[in-house]
Chains A and B, each alone.
Chain A
Amino acid sequence: MTEIETTQSGQSISNASRENHFTQTLLTPSEVAEAGKLLQKLLGGLESAILGQGELLEMVVTGLLSRGHILLEGLPGLGKTEIVKSLSKLLGLEFRRIQFTPDLLPSDILGTPILEDHSSGRNLVFHRGPIFANLVLADEINRATPKTQSALLEAMSETRVTVMGESHQLPLPFFVLATQNPIELEGTYPLPEAQLDRFLFKVDVQNISSETLEEIVLTRKHGIAPKLDEALNHSELNKLFDLADRIHLPKAVGNYIARIVSGTHPSSPSSSEEVRRFVRFGASPRAAIALSAASRSAALLSGKPNVGFEEVRGVAYCVLNHRLLLDYQARLEGCTRRTVIEHILENIPEVSREIPPDVKM
C-alpha cells in the first residue's frame, strides 16, 4: 500500500514517485510517448470545447500537471469558465463553481457546522462547503472581501480546511482555478500578494480571432460546447503526475531558473537596469519552485524526458507575471510586467558563462 504524504504545496506524492524524484534515471521513451498520448487526448478534448485558445489550454494543462492553482484573467465571455468545466469533464473530476461576491462569507466557501438533532442528541455536524471538490472555479475572485479571499489560503496551500479547530482534508487532486476581470475594478478587492503567490500561473486570456469567432458561430448553437467524454481517469491522471515528477531537471537548467528569479530583484547584483528602475519587489523562492515544476510539466507535454531552457522560457511569464510588484515609475513610463519579464529573459543567458570568442562553433 502506498503511503501518501503531502508536500509543501499540499499535493500528495507516493513513495515510489518520491524515490523517482531523486533518482537519476530518465523516463523511457515509451513512458514519455504514453504520457504524450494521454496529454494529447486531454488537449484535444479541451480544444474541441474551447476554440482558438491553444496556448491557454496548454498552460492550463501544464499547470494542472504541476498540481498548481491557476488564475485566469480576461474579459468576460472568453471561455474561462468553460475551460474549467471542460477540464472537469475530461478528467472526470468533481467540479464546483463559487461565484465570489462582496457579500460572500468564508463559511460559504469552506462550510459550516450545523447543529443537528438526532435521536442521540444534538450534534454539530460540519457541512462541507463548495471547496470540497477536485476542481474549484473561483469566479471573479477579486469581488470577494479579503476575509473571504483568505479563506482560500489554507485550502490552496495545504489542501485542508480548518473550521472551529477541526481540520478537514480536501479531496485530491485539488485545483483552484480562479478568474478575475481586468475591467470593472470598482468595488473589487485585489488579491493580496500572499494569496497571489500561491497561484502557480496567472494566465491572461486573450481575445479570439475573427476566424475562431466564425467557427464558433457556425459550429456552436448558442455557444454551447459539444459534449465531452472522460479522457483521463483518475489513475491515468496520477500516472501523469508521477511522470511529471520524474522529468529530469539538469543542473544547468536549475541554475538558469535560480538566476532568473534572482534577476527579478532590484537589489540583486545580477539584476539589470530596467529591473532596478521599474520593479519594487521581486519574486519569492516559491516562484523558483513553481518555475521548476511548471518546466517539468511543459517538458512532459513536449515529449521530452528532461527540462530544457526553452521550457523554462515558455512558462516564465505565467509564473512570474503576478509575482512582480512594479514601481510607479513603470506605470508612468508605460512599462508592463510582460516587458519587464521579456527584458529579464533577454538579459539573462542560459548558461552563466559564454563560449570564449576565440572558440568558434
Chain B
Amino acid sequence: MTDTDTIAARFLRRLNIGHFLARMGEWLAIVLSILGVCVLVVRLLTPDLWPEILWLCMCIVPVGYFAWRLSKKQKFTRLESIALFDSKLQSGGLLMAISECHDESWSEYLPQHEEEWHSLLPRIRPIRFLKVVIVPLLFLTVVCLIPLQSHSEQGRQTGTIQQKTTQKLQQMLDELNEAHLLEPEQTQQFQEDINKLKNQYTDSAMTHERWETVDTIEARLKQKAEQTVRTMRQAQQSLKILKTNQMPSEHGSLQNEEATSQIKLPGAKKRTRKSSVDSNKKTKNKTKKEKSRQNSSENRKMGQKLNEEQKRQLVENVSKALKTMLENNSDLLSQLSPEMLEKIQEMMKQNSQFDLPDDPELKEQLLNELQNLMKNESQRFQEMMQKLQRSGKLKELQNRLAAGQKSASRRSDRKSSSRRSNQNQSGKMGISRGPGSSPIDGTHPLSKSPTNFRDIVLPPGFRDKTKKETARIEMKEPEIETEQKTIRGNRKIEIDSSNLESFKRRIRPKHRQAVRKYFESKKKK
C-alpha cells in the first residue's frame, strides 16, 4: 500500500521547484537583458568602465534569492497540488477525497505499486527556463565580444601614450635619482613638472605643445645629467694631472685638451662674457683646432710642471665635482677610507674648502682614492647616460602618433613670425595655428594656460632674470616703424562700401624674408 501523503508531498515539492524555475527564469531574463544593454553601452560609449562592468553580474545572486522568496510566498498548497495530480491522473476526485478524508477503503481504485506512482509523478524539465534565459544570455555574450569602438580605442591609445610618456619621464627621473645626479630640490621640481603633465592632459590627445613640454623636461633631465658627467670628467682629468703633477702633451687626447682648455677657462670665460655678441660672431668662424691652439699656447712644451695657479684651478675642479656629488649623494665620501675621510673633514673644518694635503704620501693616497671614486662614479654615470640615450624612444612614440598631426614649430619665434605674416590677412585674428590638432574655439591660444607652458618650456629662473646691464653701445641707424613708412609703388587707397579707407600693402615674397629677418634680429637685440 503506497502512502499517498508521501507521493503528494513529492509532487508538491516538484511543483514548487517548477514554480521557482518559472519565476527565476523570468527575473533572470530581465536581469541578463539589462546587463547586456549596460555592457553594450559601456562597450560603445564608455570603454573605460570595461571590464569592471562585469561585476554587475553578481546581482544574479540577489535576484535568485528574491525569486526564491517570491516563489515561496506564492508556493502551491497541498490541496492545489493534490487537485492537480488528481486531474492529471483522471481519478475523478478520488485522490482528493482520500487525501482529505483519510479513508483507505477506496485506495484499491488508485495505483497500488510504487513504481506506478513514480511513473505518474512529473519530471522537472527546465525547458521553458532555458528558452527564456538563452536569448538574453546569448545577447550578453555577443555584446561582450563586440570590439571596443575606434574613438574609445584612440582615447585609450592616447591615454596609454600619455601614460607611457610620463612613465618614461618618471623612469628617467628615478634613474637619475638612483645615480645621485640630481639634488633633492631639483628632483622635487622635476617631479612636480611630471605630475602636472600627468594630471592636466589625461583625457585629451597629445598636441605639439604637449610634446614640446615632454621634450623640454627630457632635455632638462639630460642636461642635468650631462652637466654632472661633464663635471665628473673634468674632475677626473684634473686628478690625473694633479697626480702626474705635469701638464699633458699637445697631441694628447681630446679629453686632455678639454682639461687644459678648462684650466684657461677662468680667464677666457670673463673675456667671452664681455664681448658676447662679437665673440659669438668670431667663434663661429673659428674651428676647434684654432681654439685649442690659442688656449694651449702657454703649454706647448711637454712635461711642464704645474704652477700654483694651475694647481689651484685643478683643485677647484675637483672640489667643485665633489661638492656637486655630495649635494646629490651625501654618502659618497663613505666610499673613501676612514683615514682619508677624517683628513678631508679636518681640512674642511680648517680651510672650509677642499684642498690637497702637503704630505706627498697622503696626497698621493688621497688622489688615488679620489680617482677611484671618480672612476666608479663616472662608470655609473656612463651607464646612466646610455640608459638615457635609449630612453629617446619617446621621440619614436611621438613620430608614430604624428599621423595626421604635424608637429608645429617648437619655438615661439616661428609662431610669432607666422603670426606676423598673417597679420595682414583678414579673418585670421592674426593667429596661425599651424598644422597641429589644437581645437579651434575662437580664443587666443596663448591665453590658454600660458603660464604652465612657459613655466615648463623656459628654463627655471629665466623669467626672473632682469638684464639691466648694458651690454654695449653702438651706432646704428634710427628705427623706423613700418606702419608709418610709406611704401613706394604698391600703395592703394581704397574706399570700400562702408566708406572706410584701407591701405593695402603688397609685399613681394622675396621682400618678406628680409622684413622678417630684420625684425628677428631687432628682437634679439
Chain A bound to chain B: yes
With a cutoff of 8 Å between Cβ atoms, the chain B residues found around residue A7 in the complex are none
In the assembled complex, the Cα of A253 lies from the Cα of B79 at a distance in Å of 10
Residue B399 lies at the interface, judged by CB distance under 8 Å to chain A: no
In the assembled complex, the Cα of A321 lies from the Cα of B174 at a distance in Å of 98
Residue A219 lies at the interface, judged by CB distance under 8 Å to chain B: no
Say yes or no: A350-B122 contact (C-beta < 8 A), given A24-B101, A28-B105: no
Residue A148 lies at the interface, judged by CB distance under 8 Å to chain B: no
Binds A, one of B89-97, B227-235, B367-375, B487-495: B89-97
Residue B76 lies at the interface, judged by CB distance under 8 Å to chain A: yes
In the assembled complex, the Cα of A59 lies from the Cα of B18 at a distance in Å of 41
In the assembled complex, the Cα of A25 lies from the Cα of B101 at a distance in Å of 6
Q: How far is the CB of B462 from chain A (nearest CB, A)?
A: 79
B105, A358: Cβ atoms under 8 Å? no
In the assembled complex, the Cα of A350 lies from the Cα of B106 at a distance in Å of 23
In the assembled complex, the Cα of A360 lies from the Cα of B92 at a distance in Å of 21
In the assembled complex, the Cα of A48 lies from the Cα of B170 at a distance in Å of 114
**Out of B15, B86, B97, which one reaches A305, CB within 8 Å?**
B97
Binds A, one of B125-133, B216-224, B245-253, B268-276: B125-133
A interface, over-half SS: loop
- CB-based nearest B residue for A248: B97
A29, B97: Cβ atoms under 8 Å? no
In the assembled complex, the Cα of A305 lies from the Cα of B101 at a distance in Å of 11
With a cutoff of 8 Å between Cβ atoms, the chain B residues found around residue A353 in the complex are 76, 80, 84
A350, B97: Cβ atoms under 8 Å? no
A359, B124: Cβ atoms under 8 Å? yes
Q: How far is the CB of A252 from chain B (nearest CB, A)?
A: 4
- CB-based nearest A residue for B101: A24
- We find that the number of chain A residues with CB closer than 8 angstroms to chain B is 31
Q: How far is the CB of B353 from chain A (nearest CB, A)?
A: 94
Kindly supply a per-residue 1/0 record for chain B positions 117-151, scoring 1 wherever the CB is within 8 Å of any chain A CB and 0 otherwise: 00010111111110000000000000000000000
Residue B87 lies at the interface, judged by CB distance under 8 Å to chain A: yes
With a cutoff of 8 Å between Cβ atoms, the chain A residues found around residue B105 in the complex are 26, 28-29
With a cutoff of 8 Å between Cβ atoms, the chain B residues found around residue A25 in the complex are 101, 103
B92, A361: Cβ atoms under 8 Å? no
Residue A357 lies at the interface, judged by CB distance under 8 Å to chain B: yes
Residue A251 lies at the interface, judged by CB distance under 8 Å to chain B: yes
With a cutoff of 8 Å between Cβ atoms, the chain A residues found around residue B101 in the complex are 24-26, 248
Residue B19 lies at the interface, judged by CB distance under 8 Å to chain A: yes
- CB-based nearest A residue for B129: A358
With a cutoff of 8 Å between Cβ atoms, the chain B residues found around residue A281 in the complex are none
Residue B408 lies at the interface, judged by CB distance under 8 Å to chain A: no
B79, A355: Cβ atoms under 8 Å? no
Q: How far is the CB of A299 from chain B (nearest CB, A)?
A: 8
**Pairs across A and B, CB under 8 Å, 11 listed:** A24-B103, A26-B97, A26-B101, A26-B106, A248-B101, A251-B79, A252-B96, A356-B19, A358-B129, A359-B123, A359-B124
Told that A26-B97, A304-B92, A359-B125 touch, could you supply 12 new A-B pairs with CB distance under 8 A?
A: A24-B102, A26-B101, A252-B82, A299-B93, A306-B94, A308-B93, A351-B80, A355-B122, A356-B18, A357-B127, A359-B17, A360-B125
